[in-house]
């Protein structure tokens, strides 16, 4: 079945056709590192991780670029106030970002270019736009001439004549009196030698505009035309609209084939944002006792990526419980078939249920990453599988098939196996099976057997605790 995705440019769901068969070039708008990224930011990064994982699971080789914006107005202002260089100011936020990526199980991009490392490519792009009449110098700055690009506004699907550079809260403070038209946007902002953020150029000392950075890095690393460009919906205008205008004006080629935009995370009815003061970081949630696995699971599977997600912290408890049911079923299947992943015999009813779940999961994911629907197939398997196990009607082959289906789903989710095994990497297979037997005994109401296994594990130095979120254990 072909992979179908929604394209913000066409406003339709269509079949993905990579420029190069078997390969996908994907660009992701990454963080602006003037503060820690919040979970609203990570909702977009998680959806993009889901996209990449699904493409790779379907046999495509993905080359992903995620930029780090380490120079802009806010960064300059904050670094200046602290009397730090750009590198000194941004370093802890960049480190925290990579730590959170790892905690949330987000695969690292193939490239993490920093804007300050690609200023040369940005200057060359500006020179090209000036030479072809798409940009002009004015009072030491360089602006893109929007009138020179007739297709301006096609991504945001707004009246291009009414769009202006100042229509978003994330716009650099362009000097309107220096521009030919209010819609024009800054490519290069004038500066002075010795400024905190200033580089030499044919136009004088200055620094690149925000929109210019992504175009230059994307084309430098992935080429003039790329398959997929990702970002939050708030990036459509003006950021992505401006990327299209400057990139296509420079190359004469389509910049992006498919635009993948993720909807907002809402809290108390409003968009989660630093500017609103209503944001939460992953560290904050962890300090309140929530697992990064539960955060990932909730932000991914609760709502389709193109729908707004209303975040309530108490929903993380439900996510943790749902994840625990998946993890418990994983352990039951692993214990019943001894960890041997083999295909199932045709006579085992659990094998048939596993195949239905696998087919349903893949079909839903191929249909614009419909993970909520895909999870329905997975939870059906858990319910039916637990019933068959309780009735003694599931054999080792069926458990192997169910475990294989869980693994296939987890190649996208990246939470079930991590929740199913101990956080202690030194836990042996025998110890894991003992924990699985204990959970099986508790499920069947044989609490005396469960207590005996708990005591045996304690002798091995493993403390087992039963909580309302599920069974937890750690070494002494």
Each residue's pLDDT tens digit, 125-150: 999 999 999 999 999 999 999 999 99
Residues 71-85: what's their mean pLDDT? 96
Q: Which residue has the tokens 């994983």?
A: 330
Of 151-165, 381-395, 436-450, the range with the highest mean pLDDT is 381-395
Is residue 193's pLDDT more than 50? yes
Question: Cα–chain-centroid distance for residue 473?
Answer: 30
Residues 330-356: what's their mean pLDDT? 75
The Cα–Cα gap between 292 and 161 comes to 45
Q: Which residue has the tokens 């024009």?
A: 184
User: How many other β-carbons are positioned within 10 Å of the β-carbon of residue 324?
Assistant: 20
Q: Residue 59, by phi and psi: left (phi above 0), alpha (psi -120 to 50) or beta?
A: left
* Higher pLDDT, residue 425 or 25: 25
Residues 274-281: what's their mean pLDDT? 78
**Given this structure, which CATH class describes domain 4-262?**
alpha beta
Kindly tell me the sign of the dihedral angle through the C-alpha atoms of 96, 410, 6, 306.
negative
Burial 341-363 (b: 16+ CB within 10 A, else e): eeebeeebbbbebbbebbebbbe
Backbone φ and ψ for 103, nearest 5 degrees, come out as: -60, -40
Residues 195-200: what's their mean pLDDT? 97
Is residue 386's pLDDT more than 50? yes
Q: Identify the architecture of domain 324-419 in CATH.
A: Up-down Bundle (1.20)
Is residue 341's pLDDT more than 50? no
Cβ(313)–Cβ(288) below 8 Å: yes
- Using alpha carbons, select from 303, 298, 300 the residue that is nearest to residue 321: 298
Mean pLDDT computed over every residue of the chain: 90
CA distances from 123 to 210, 216, 220, 286, 475 (A): 13, 9, 12, 42, 56
CA atoms within 13 A on the CB side of 351: 14
Read off the pTM.
Answer: 0.86
CA distances from 133 to 121, 137, 218, 364 (A): 19, 11, 22, 47
The Cα–Cα gap between 42 and 265 comes to 9
Is residue 53's pLDDT more than 90? yes
Residues 77-92: what's their mean pLDDT? 97
Is residue 18's pLDDT more than 90? yes
* Higher pLDDT, residue 394 or 441: 394
User: Which H or E run contains 263?
Assistant: none
Is residue 475's pLDDT more than 70? no
Q: Which residues, in sequence order, are CB contacts of 173 under 8 Å at separation 6+?
A: 73
Residues 258-286: what's their mean pLDDT? 87
Is residue 459's pLDDT more than 90? no
Q: Residue 274, by phi and psi: left (phi above 0), alpha (psi -120 to 50) or beta?
A: alpha
Q: What is the pLDDT of residue 80?
A: 97
Q: Which residue has the tokens 């087992």?
A: 464
- Using alpha carbons, select from 113, 104, 17 the residue that is nearest to residue 53: 104
- Coil, helix or strand at residue 187: strand
Q: Which residues, in sequence order, are CB contacts of 24 under 8 Å at separation 6+?
A: 16, 18, 55, 60, 61, 62, 63, 227, 228
Cβ(400)–Cβ(348) below 8 Å: no
Cβ(44)–Cβ(230) below 8 Å: yes
The Cα–Cα gap between 444 and 169 comes to 57
Every domain of the chain and the residues it spans: 4-262, 324-419, 429-475
Per-residue DSSP letter, 414 = -
Q: What is the pLDDT of residue 339?
A: 43
Say how many residues make up the chain: 476
Query: What percent of the chain is helix, strand and coil (3-state, nearest 5)?
Result: 50, 15, 35
Q: What is the pLDDT of residue 137?
A: 97
The model's pLDDT over 312-321, given as tens digits with 9 standing for 90+, comes to 999 999 999 9
The Cα–Cα gap between 371 and 463 comes to 35
User: Which H or E run contains 450?
Assistant: helix 447-459
By percentage, how much of the chain surpasses pLDDT 70? 90
The Cα–Cα gap between 3 and 13 comes to 10
Is residue 252's pLDDT more than 70? yes
User: How many other β-carbons are positioned within 10 Å of the β-carbon of residue 139?
Assistant: 10
The two tokens of residue 129 are: 């736009």
Q: Residue 445, by phi and psi: left (phi above 0), alpha (psi -120 to 50) or beta?
A: left
User: Which H or E run contains 262?
Assistant: strand 256-262
From 70-79, 364-373, 455-464, the region with the lowest mean pLDDT: 455-464
Query: End-to-end alpha-carbon separation of the chain, Å?
Result: 50
């Amino acid at each position: 079945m072909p992979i179908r995705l929604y394209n913000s440019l066409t406003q339709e769901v269509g079949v993905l056709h990579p420029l190069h068969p078997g390969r996908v070039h994907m660009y992701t708008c990454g963080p602006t590192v003037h503060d820690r990224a919040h979970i609203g930011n990570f909702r977009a990064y998680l959806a993009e991780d889901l996209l990449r994982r699904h493409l790779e699971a379907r046999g495509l080789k993905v080359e992903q670029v995620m930029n780090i914006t380490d120079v802009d107005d806010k960064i300059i202002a904050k670094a200046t106030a602290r009397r730090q260089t750009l590198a000194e100011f941004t370093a802890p936020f960049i480190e925290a970002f990579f730590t959170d990526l790892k905690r949330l199980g987000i695969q690292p991009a193939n490239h993490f270019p920093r804007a300050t490392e690609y200023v040369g490519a940005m200057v060359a792009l500006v020179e090209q736009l000036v030479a072809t009449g798409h940009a002009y110098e004015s009072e030491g700055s360089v602006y893109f001439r929007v009138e020179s690009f007739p297709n301006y506004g096609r991504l945001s699907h707004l009246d291009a004549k009414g769009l202006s550079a100042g229509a978003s809260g994330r716009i650099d403070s362009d000097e309107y009196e220096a521009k030919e038209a209010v819609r024009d946007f800054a490519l290069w902002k004038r500066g002075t030698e010795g400024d905190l953020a200033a580089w030499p150029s044919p136009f004088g000392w200055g620094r690149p505009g925000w929109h210019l950075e992504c175009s230059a890095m994307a084309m430098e690393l992935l080429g003039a035309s790329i398959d997929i460009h990702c970002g939050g919906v708030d990036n459509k205008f003006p950021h992505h609209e401006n990327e299209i205008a400057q990139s296509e004006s420079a190359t004469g080629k389509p910049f992006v084939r498919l635009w993948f935009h993720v909807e907002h995370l809402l809290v108390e009815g409003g968009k989660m944002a630093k500017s609103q003061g209503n944001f939460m970081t992953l560290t904050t949630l962890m300090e309140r006792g929530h697992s990064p696995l539960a955060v990932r699971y909730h932000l991914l599977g609760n709502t389709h990526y193109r729908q707004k997600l209303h975040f309530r912290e108490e929903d993380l408890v439900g996510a943790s419980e749902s994840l625990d049911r998946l993890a418990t079923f994983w352990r039951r299947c692993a214990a019943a078939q001894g960890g041997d992943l083999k295909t199932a015999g045709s006579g085992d009813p659990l094998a048939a249920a596993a195949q239905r779940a696998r087919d349903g999961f893949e079909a839903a994911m191929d249909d614009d990453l419909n993970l909520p629907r895909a999870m329905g197939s997975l939870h059906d398997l858990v319910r039916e599988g637990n019933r068959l196990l309780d009735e003694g009607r599931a054999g080792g082959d069926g458990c192997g098939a169910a475990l294989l289906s869980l693994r296939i789903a987890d190649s996208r989710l990246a939470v079930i196996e991590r929740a199913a095994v101990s956080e202690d990497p030194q836990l042996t297979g025998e110890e894991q099976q003992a924990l699985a037997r204990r959970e099986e005994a508790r499920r069947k109401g044989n609490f005396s057997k469960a207590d005996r296994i708990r005591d045996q594990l304690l002798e091995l130095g493993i403390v087992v605790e039963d909580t309302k979120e599920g069974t937890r254990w750690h070494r002494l």
